[in-house]
Amino acid sequence: MTEIRSAIAVASPHGRSKTGAQWTFELVAYALDRFHRRHLRTPTVKELRAGIDDLPSYATIRRRYGSAGRMLRRHGYRVRKAGAQPGRPCVLERDGKGLFLPKELQRSV
């Protein structure tokens, strides 16, 4: 019986990334920072449940932190209230160099 359990434990990917690395505190922090830099917001619970590349699965989050909100809070992010919007998309115009234009120079939409 113990042989079967050890074989299941070896084959089971619980708490591991797609590359096989274990999700440590530092790896989760790095993945959240990377998501935040790319999207200028934190992931929603709906997105986490659906699965996001480069972030731990929702099951791993629940197992390690208890909830997605606790994970975000533990890594220094603000937690939205239930049902709150993830934020507005950034619609500011940019110049040829990619810098944001001041409001006076932007076209009114």
Per-residue pLDDT reduced to its tens digit, 73-104:
999 998 888 777 666 666 678 888 888 888 77
Has residue 82 been placed in a domain?
Answer: yes
Has residue 30 been placed in a domain?
Answer: yes
Has residue 67 been placed in a domain?
Answer: yes
pTM: predicted TM-score of the whole model, two decimal places: 0.62
Has residue 13 been placed in a domain?
Answer: yes
Has residue 106 been placed in a domain?
Answer: no
Has residue 100 been placed in a domain?
Answer: no
Please give the residue that has the higher pLDDT: either 11 or 22.
Answer: 22
What's the domain count of the chain? 1
Q: Are 60 and 21 a contacting pair, CB within 8 Å?
A: no
Domain residues for the domain of 34 are 2-86
The burial of 95, by beta-carbon neighbours within 10 Å (0-12 exposed, 13-18 middle, 19 or more buried), is given as exposed
Q: How far apart are CA 23 and CA 60, in angstroms?
A: 8
